[in-house]
Amino acid sequence: MSTVGQDRPDLLAMLPEEVDALFLDIGLPRYRSAQVVEWLYVHGARSFDEMTNLPKSLRETLSKDLTITNLQTLKVAVSRDRTKKFLFGLTDGAAIETVLLPEGERSTACISTQVGCAFGCLFCASGAGGLARNLTAGEIVDQARKAKFDADAGRLTNIVVMGMGEPLANYEATTKAVRIFLHERGLALGGRRITISTAGFVPGIRRLAADDLPVRVALSLHAADNRTRNKLMPINRKYPLEQVIDSCTELGRRRTPLTLEYMLIFEINDSFDDAARLADIAHALKAKVNLIPYNPVPGGRYRAPSEERVLRFQARLREAGVLAFIRRSRGTDIDAACGQLRQSASREGHG
């Protein structure tokens, strides 16, 4: 099911083969399900009414028996750098965020998997109000559809599952959505075009390592020792670095490309000793590193390091033989950090 409180099957929560089987079960020929799936993923239909090559009587019948998740756009913010952030409303009144990152004629969608987050990382606005609920597969898929068919998207070439929430704590819905992204009759993206992010949720990492999803994984590391990571990311108290590294080693055995996301926070995790520890972890996991200068959130307690300090940290990693890149935050003028738009909209009365 795709919408909370909805007892009709949601087509966006189904693989194309499952839609085919459902249509056969209700006595409809295979070509009808093919038409519907094409409307969903090639044309971006938001309702059966838009599927104009289906007879009106059939559209009315399908509307009564089935549903298509259609997220409500509550707010859109566009940055000077063309980053576009959406606040989407759900059927139960909750709200989530999706970010569209255009690059020339191509674009990347950053999508959410939960309403809020249970892990409460101190530098992130997503978990400020805790976890409300998991998203359904249909709600995850429709974020990608909304991004793909946005007028500013160009060609949607990449999806990063690293918006609000911990994707691997909502494993079934997240991986179902990813399989739809990969499917040739779905969004038809290659596995290297999809990245699943995790804060170090070890049970989910181990489960993903045993799965057959050919995707990339990004580990939000942000500290290379348990003491600092415990402070920044409470999840580390339950799943310390040793367990996280061990589970990510299992991913490596499957040749899953791994990136370490490391937010640089002034005088918290940006020393040369931190760089040395991070280099050891990167070597152990055969991972590249994305360095992200901290983007302050309203009421936050941390500061961003200077440009010189960031470059020195990167240089130390490269001297140690680590492939390290600096990834600049985009959309800083529109509250584009995870959770910020939802927070500001809540203060204004949305969500």
**Residue positions forming the annotated binding site for [4Fe-4S] cluster:** 117, 121, 124
Residue 204's CB is within 10 A of a number of other CB atoms, namely 22
Instruction: Pull the structure tokens for residue 342.
Output: 């939802």
- 30's enclosing H/E stretch is helix 30-41
Say how far apart CA 135 and CA 95 lie, in whole Å: 11
Nearest by Cα to 198 from 117, 99, 123, 141: 117
18, 97, 248, 267: the active-site residue: 97
Give Cβ neighbours of residue 118 (< 8 Å, ≥ 6 apart).
127, 130, 131, 166, 169
* Cα dihedral 233, 236, 238, 244 in deg (nearest 10): 140
Instruction: Pull the structure tokens for residue 151.
Output: 């007028």
* Binding positions: 117, 121, 124, 165-166, 197, 220-222, 295
Active site residue 97: yes
Active site residue 338: yes
Burial zone of 29 (CB within 10 Å; 0-12 exposed, 13-18 middle, 19+ buried): exposed
Say how far apart CA 302 and CA 293 lie, in whole Å: 11
The sign of the dihedral angle between the CA atoms of 279, 285, 287, 289 is negative
110, 139, 248, 338: the active-site residue: 338
* Binding positions for S-adenosyl-L-methionine: 165-166, 197, 220-222, 295
Is there a contact between 83 and 295 (Cβ–Cβ < 8 Å)?
A: no
Burial zone of 155 (CB within 10 Å; 0-12 exposed, 13-18 middle, 19+ buried): exposed
Active site residues: 97, 338
